[in-house]
Structure 1
């Protein structure tokens, strides 16, 4: 219940009733905040437990649970901040919790560019009206801001010259573009690819975002760019795979991924195969790298095809498709691929259990 100071009654008992009602409201808000604080602490504790178990069994389920808890924490903390702002609990309030009113602030990153905005004081002294000032230093407050990404049109200008001796036309060659005879520059193509595959932003949503900036990029147009960019990046992918499989030690694993089946209204389970080359724990200075393969199923022929040119140590789990790789290629000869079994899948004999 809110009452304007100008509308306060003159009766003492009525004033006491107003004060008592406001005290009850404040107590109720305090109880709600305390309840939310308790829930936040509980969720944070659950989140910590799940993060510790992240690399245990069923890590995909753990990841999904962690994401849901993080979303819940975001909503609760945002609601708490809104409630504090509405109720007028400011950092300068004497009743505010010092730990929450003045959170520790880390310095802003040094590598970010600085944009100075100078706020000039009034030209006259507010006390005596004088206008003759001596500079006595300055106060600097840094605020982290964001400038949204923007489109631009790059004009490639090719001046033409005519040879005075033979009238030959001469001009500079145009740099190659990622899409032949297309409009997108390399930065735009890279941005669309990263938004789709790293930030999981579908093309139709990207189209809606760009439309707000007055740029019409249809989903089909960007899909065409992605298809052509895939062909353009194929040589780089080959080099990356050659680099990964040239190492002597390799880590391999697969994970299930849901794949849409157009026209059937459901998904099927595909497989994403991952192979990692990382010799840093062994003092290897060669840069680490990872490559991925997709397959519609988990048949053993897929790892055999992936590792057809690899020779060395493979660190993997006990999947039968991997075990077949350790067989000798020639009768009596050593295997081309040596097994480094994953201890997370170590089998303990029943006689040693308990």
Structure 2
């Protein structure tokens, strides 16, 4: 009877834990900041943890809990590069009300307001006059027709660049774009818009490949993967392919690699697939704990092993989720220790790799040693089948890669750089549901890679793409000079304006 009671209590505890997890997913905060996760835990017997909480900044938060962030408002300082349309309002009369003499200007008040001009559709008529000699019958002179992205098509490069940007920079599906164009009185089928996207990807294929190769010359890159539904096989069924993301960003330590990302469409998420993508790469690979990456550390790998740096955010997320459902004092301690690491990282972000290394050795290593001791001491005292034991074993199994940032100032503490670049794929996937075929998935990868990289480098994606396509299509930039069009090298060009017909 007692055994049966114990079994029922265990089942009830498991059901309550599952219920609490669902409640947290539906109604709880999605933030992993320590000040949100650990608020209200003072009633627990945490020893000196409460004092630590009061002195420790929140995860990823450089300010104390009581300090307010300065709001990022743009009051009275609109960007200087925007064109100004000056509207001067004169008084009804500039004659003096006393003597009726003319008044002179002594000053003025200026106020600015941001305005918008909606997109304007227009038709560009290209006129090529023909000239002939009146004295002889041969020798007609006419300028050659300019090259176009789609020969004989009705779309200019700018219109196609606009469609591409709306789709892959701002995640607007083509069927919604077709509706917008219809509102302007232009009926274009969504299949036509899809062909324009494919055409743009064809022109940009060389630039995409050049950008992907540039990653593999960096000393450290980030890699992650996410699912990509694709209609495949011609039977109308949706198969789950993968988008792998390769990224680099050395700005946290003022390094040479510019911020960039490249997506690669693949049929699987196997080690063989990512190994083929990386080719001869032998630098530092910042990844999550997915097992497909583990074989890269094999010393017999040709041309050499890859050093793996694992993601602290993945480890923290495990204990955060567990703490939300259990409120365990142990998980609270672990979260606080990880919060210390992130507080140190916030302080040293933007400094040199050498300075980051010195600070990490002096301040972060003792925290990691303390965390390791806590994990090793806790594991024998908890049930082997518990979630806490599973998460501790995960930390122990990945410990060397989790501590890689302690010995190299270039390495980040987590893989959040590339995870942030997976969000655009998730938004586009939610809006479009799937890629129409494998070719469409590759088009998606090419165009999203280039536009997201332009955004990472602070460029307006349409301005960049329109200029790049114009240069490539016109032959101004050939395949052996594509480096100048990469987002971090690109310089805008001034192009002559066209005369508007009366």
TM-score range relative to shorter protein: 0.5 to 0.7
SS at match of 1:253: strand
Q: Hey, what does 1:82 align to over in structure 2?
A: none
Q: CA deviation at 1:161?
A: 3.2
1:353 counterpart (370, 378, 382):
378
Q: Distance in 1 between matches of 2:98 and 2:32?
A: 63
Partner SS state of residue 160, structure 2: helix
Specify the alignment match of 1:314 in structure 2. 285
CA contact (8 A) 1:177 1:185 kept: yes
How far apart, in 2, do the equivalents of 1:262 and 1:121 lie?
73
The 8 Å contact of residues 328 and 334 in structure 1, kept in 2 or not, is answered as no
* Alignment of 1:144 onto 2:114: yes
The structure number with the bigger radius of gyration is 1
Matches within 5 A, 1:266-345: 269-329=240-300, 335-344=304-313
Instruction: Supply the distance in 2 between the matched residues of 1:122 and 1:106 (Cα, whole angstroms).
Output: 28
Shift of 1:279: 3.4
2:31 match: secondary structure: helix
Cα distance in 2 between the residues matched to 1:237 and 1:279 = 20
Report which of the two has the higher share of strand.
1
Contact 2:247–2:260 (CA under 8 A) maintained in structure 1: yes
The counterpart of 2:87, out of the listed 101, 105, 117, is 117
Q: 2:157 aligns with which of 186, 189, 207?
A: 186
* Alpha-carbon separation, structure 2, partners of 1:125 and 1:51: 67
CA contact (8 A) 2:231 2:238 kept: yes
Deviations 1:199-241 (A, max 9, x none): 2211121111122222222212211211222212111111111
* Structure 2 residue matching 1:110: 3-state secondary structure: coil
Query: How many residue pairs are counted as aligned between the two chains?
Result: 258
- How much does 1:306 deviate? 1.2
Once the two structures are TM-superposed, the CA of residue 315 in structure 1 deviates from its matched residue by 1.8
1-structure distance, mates of 2:313, 2:93:
73
CA deviations 1:65-109 (Å, max 9, x no partner) are: xxxxxxxxxxxxxxxxxxxxxxxxxxxxxxxxxxxxxx9934222
Deviations 1:86-134 (A, max 9, x none): xxxxxxxxxxxxxxxxx99342222211101122322487966947443
Secondary structure of 1:233 counterpart: helix
Equivalent position SS for 2:126: coil
CA displacement, residues 236-259 of structure 1 (integer Å, 9 cap, x when unaligned):
111111111122222111234556
1:131-280 aligned at under 5 Å gives the runs: 132-162=102-132, 167-257=138-228, 269-280=240-251
Q: 1:294 to 1:136 in 2, by over 3 A?
A: same
Residues in 1 aligned to 2:123 and 2:243: alpha-carbon distance in whole angstroms: 38
Most deviating of 291-300 and 226-235 = 291-300
Match of 1:90 in 2: none
Displacement after TM superposition at 1:170 (Å)? 2.8
- Which digits, 9 at most, give the CA deviation of each residue in 1:262-299, with x for residues without a partner? 99999765432111123344543343322112334433
Quick one: higher RCO (CA 8 Å, sep 6+), 1 or 2? 2
CA-to-partner distance for each residue in 1:139-163, whole Å, 9 max, x for gaps? 3221211111211222222233346
Contact 1:251 1:315 in 2 (8 A): yes
Identify if the C-alpha distance between structure 1 residues 136 and 283 changes in structure 2 by more than 3 Å, giving closer, same or farther.
Answer: closer
State the distance in 2 between where 1:165 and 1:52 align.
Answer: 84
Gaps of 5+ in 2: 1-27, 38-72, 316-370, 380-502
2:248–2:257 CA contact under 8 A, matched in 1: no
Question: What is the rounded CA distance, in whole Å, between the counterparts of 1:348 and 1:265 in structure 2?
Answer: 51
Whole-angstrom distance in 1 between the partners of 2:372 and 2:266? 32
Decide whether aligned partners of structure 1 residues 257 and 131 sit closer, same or farther in structure 2, where only a CA change above 3 A counts: farther
Alignment RMSD: 3.8
Distance 2:248 2:272 in 1: 21
Aligned residue for 1:50? 31
Distance 1:318 1:157, change over 3 A: same
Distance 1:279 1:256, change over 3 A: same
> When you count helix as a share of all residues, which structure comes out higher?
2
CA distance in 2, matches of 1:110, 1:123: 33
The structure-2 alpha-carbon separation of the partners of 1:118 and 1:124, relative to structure 1 and needing over 3 Å to count, comes to: closer
SS of the residue corresponding to residue 109 of structure 1 reads coil
Secondary structure of the residue aligned to 1:220 is helix
- Does structure 2 retain, via aligned residues, the 8 Å contact 1:275–1:291? yes
Conserved? CA contact 1:274–1:291, under 8 Å: yes
* Aligned counterparts of 2:74 and 2:199: Cα–Cα separation in 1: 48
